[in-house]
Amino acid sequence: MYHLASHPRVVREAVAHLSRQIDANPLAAPGGLSLPDGPTGWPRVLASLADYLGARPEQLAMTASTTIGLGVVYNGVRTRPGQEFVLSTDDHPSHVLAAQLAAENRGAKVRLCSWFRDSAQATAEEIIRTLREQIRPETRVLGVTWVQSGTGVRMPVRRIAEVVREANQGRAEADRCLLVVDGVHGLAAVDQDGARLGADILVAGTHKWLFGPRGTGLVWVSPQVLDQLRPTFATFIFSGGAAPLSPGGYLAFEHAFALPTAVAFHQRLGRARVADRIARLSTRAKHGLAGIPGVTVHTPADPEMSAGITCFSVRGHSAAQVISRAAEKRIRLSSLPVFPYNSTPWPRIGTAIVNSPRDIDTALTAIADIAR
């Protein structure tokens, strides 16, 4: 779940079904392809994702990943010299770099903050208090991560949105602080409508917790701020609304147009059931790790402050050593890359719906062996 998810069988079969059509007639893409249950293409993809997010199709742009989506957003925000993008030292490097590259082109700046002193003890109250202090008149974008991939902390986005609304009172549209959310590890892992979090913009890959086809992602834009964004690329989706933000060009249409199958699969399972299972497995992992001598858990124990990622460290072992030792036991862990503002990333364990309590216990046994 850290990078890409394995395709469920129904998604794999949908991709293969579309691929055979393109091989037989390349001119069928992008407008003449069908899934077993009917035609597919951008209109159906947008409609299915909008239904899942609690949005409208015209509020969505399509991308190939969270990284590309963040680049589209930050490069697209209408910004003046002297304005700033405010992010956190716990945000993913792709988020920070997208902001930095855009700022360099616009004469703006990026300011990195820390929303909490200790990720394991982070609370919504501490985060809200800190955020309120950091929004300034020149803050054009407040970028936050719904579920941080390097700490496992789930940010209280709805409450953050209230703080941003307060800060925007009396501001002109060109000075408005936009709330941009990297939602990739919250989408399909948390039982909330992404379009109803209160954010101005939500960016997410759909090939992780949603188990969508690899190389797919989305940008949701509130209609109230759409005029504050301009496209970066020429687009091949001409349906209006946020669609012009979608990068054009030819891509793996058999993957993109199989997205409705992934959404339907997830909806059949039920988002509430999925989120509950993820939370139960995550709690099992956190409690188990906390009981291993030499292991420190860096993700909040409170299920309301976390989701499916649990970060930890093992005394005397680097993240790379823990990941390598675990791989020898067929346990797949990961960590963020080393970055200037995060020189000591932590190992992390993901608890997805494909996992079982027994899987978690097996991983805990392996980690306990490493910690000895």
Question: How confident is residue 2, by pLDDT bands cut at 50, 70 and 90?
Answer: low
pLDDT at 337: 87
Gap between the Cα atoms of 141 and 16, Å rounded:
41
pLDDT digits (tens, 9 = 90+) for 196-209: 999 999 999 999 99
All structural domains of the chain with their residue ranges: 9-267, 271-371
pLDDT of residue 281: 98
pTM of the complete model? 0.96
Sign of the Cα torsion 229, 232, 233, 234 reads positive
- At 280-311, the pLDDT tens digits run 999 999 999 999 999 999 999 999 999 999 99
Order of strands, edge to edge, in the sheet holding 295-297?
295-297, 309-314, 348-350
Q: Can you list the alpha helix ranges (DSSP code H) found in 77-147?
A: 93-106, 124-134
| Domain 9-267 fold | Aspartate Aminotransferase; domain 2 (3.40.640)
Class of domain 271-371: alpha beta
pLDDT bracket for residue 30 (50, 70, 90): confident
**Segment 59-64 mean pLDDT:** 98
What SS3 class is residue 102?
helix
Average pLDDT, the chain: 97
User: Per residue in 215-260, pLDDT tens?
Assistant: 999 999 999 999 999 999 999 999 899 999 999 999 999 999 999 9
- How far apart CA 70 and CA 218 sit, in angstroms, is 10
Report CA dihedral (99, 104, 106, 107) to the nearest 10 degrees.
Answer: 120
Q: Which of 366, 360, 347, 346 shows the shortest CA–CA distance to 282?
A: 360
The arithmetic mean of pLDDT across residues 323-346, rounded, is: 91
Tokens describing residue 5? 């998810």
98-120 pLDDT tens trace: 999 999 999 999 999 999 999 99
Q: Residue 92 to residues 98, 201, 297, 338, 346: CA-CA distances in angstroms?
A: 10, 17, 19, 11, 13
Tokens of 352: 């997805």
**What percent of the chain is modeled with pLDDT above 90?**
94
Residue type at position 161: A
| Per-residue confidence band for 340, with pLDDT thresholds at 50, 70 and 90 | confident
Q: Which of 269, 279, 334, 278 is nearest to 303 (CA)?
A: 279
User: Tens of pLDDT along 64-74?
Assistant: 999 999 999 99
pLDDT reading at 351 higher than 90: yes
What's the half-sphere exposure (Cβ side, CA atoms, 13 Å) at 349? 32
